Structure 1
Amino acid sequence: MAAILRQSRSLQFTSTVRLNTGYSMPILGFGVAYGFDKPTDTHAVQTPCFALNNARRLNYIVLRRHIDTARCYRNEVEVGEAIRESGVPREDTFVTTKIDSSLHGYESTLSTVKASLSDLGLDYIDLYLIHDAGSGQELRLATYRALLEAKALGEIRSVGVSNYGVKHLEELQQAGLPPPAVNQIELHPLCQQRPIVDYCREHGIVVQAYCPIIRGRTDHPVIKELSEKYEKEPAQVLIRWSLQHGFVPLPKSSQAARIRSNAQVFDFELTDADMAALDSLDKGKAGAVSWNPVDVA
């Protein structure tokens, strides 16, 4: 932990992390999926989404340049429009999207990647994730191989996974496939998923943290105490915790002020003792506030 904390003192808004594919990814992202609390509601998301409109008003993409979406969020078209409207050169914007288990399979994955490229209006996608492992071993391996093929074709720069437990990550290794660049999992002080994080660190897989601000459930006494100590919003304390652990947090908000404040986390640093206090809140998977399907067969 000490090495991570020492390195954290040099973190800046423009800092990046190097992926195992050789590409760099900004250490702070912006999620654009809104309007649902569980996966069965994802197809009810309305577009254009309210939060993405906020992002346009703030010219947020110019600031963050790291956008996380997914096919099932049904807002890739709006994400692409926002990128073009921002005026930021394509090479300075990092875009992630995902394929969920309902679309898994080799041929269907290849066609889904092309559909994402078309909807986003991009020549390539920086990071394409398998959204979940729910399709079973055969289909998820076929999906991973198809994403590697799309990478070889130049349609994708890096291939990753989301909601993968250690079993699913080991499955890739046993199949002789290269490790993913990223594993995106629910991650915050109440749900730290340490075995998955440890495996990723041992194998050079960057850990992205979704729900890093616990969906606003920040009334725990320790979080409130640290918020008062540092004169920071509870969400800012949680994002800082994530950054100091070397994770890549993906906070979401539909409020303009929150979107702005979630990026203002580089002017303070949590002490070792305060990091340990937050670490002590871990409830394992019982602390999850999202679907977190890391144990699917």
Structure 2
Amino acid sequence: MNAATPHIQQKQISLSCYTSRVREGEQFIPEHVFSYQLSGSITMHDGVREYTFTEGSCRLTRRNNLMKFVKQPAATAPFLNISVYLDQATLQRFSKTYGFAANPQQEQPPVIPIHATPFVKAYFDSLKPYDELIQEGNEVLLSLKQQEAIGILLQSNAALKDVLFDFAAPGRIDLEAFMQQNFHFNTSLNRFAYLTGRSLSTFKRDFEKTFGMPPGKWLQQRRLQEAYYLIREKGASASDVYIEVGFEDLSHFSFAFKKMYGAAPTRI
């Protein structure tokens, strides 16, 4: 592995490596992801709960979730994480071949810790050497490794079939509760609509009925309110909070903040 390469990705397998810096960000998780933390640590936040995984730990991150993360190298080792992506087409083929079907389930957390059994450890050991595995020409092998990952997950926890083989799109959920929990994710209205079980037009119509204003305007006001609270009550700085509350750019955040509160964030 070349440690200077921060992110190596094939459709089925991804290797993340950061040697000397903390990396923060957020992402939408479109497919289930089975991950093993080789070294360093990752802290993930779904808007309500925080999850931390250190060296030797495993997790299944469920599809159709928004997640913030902090990736931290260890004192004597890089941040190193291997992930296997379990797309819907692969899971549907597996379900049909082996006769698995999901039962109606109670709500599951977005991130599910997986016990690092000998089967799990042996599986991730089998993915070495990573650089060679992801080269062109290994598509069949990579597909088999995806199927093996599904089998390993089911062996570690049979109840995961109700997660892995649930192919339904997000159902209609409480719009106000969802937006209050997820306003700080910098994602598109299309994605917010999808995750609340609505078309974009229905989402916009329901949003105005619920909040009394268009979603774009509400999102900016709500993010600025949260930033004001963090700066005034928690002593945070503008550079600490602008990404946390969903802004991409510090100058845009500062401009919008001053317009709403009559003073720059540094004067609060």
Query: What TM-score, normalized to structure 1?
Result: 0.23
Q: Which has the higher strand share?
A: 2
Q: Which has the higher contact order (CA 8 A, sep 6+)?
A: 1
Larger gyration radius, structure 1 or structure 2: 2
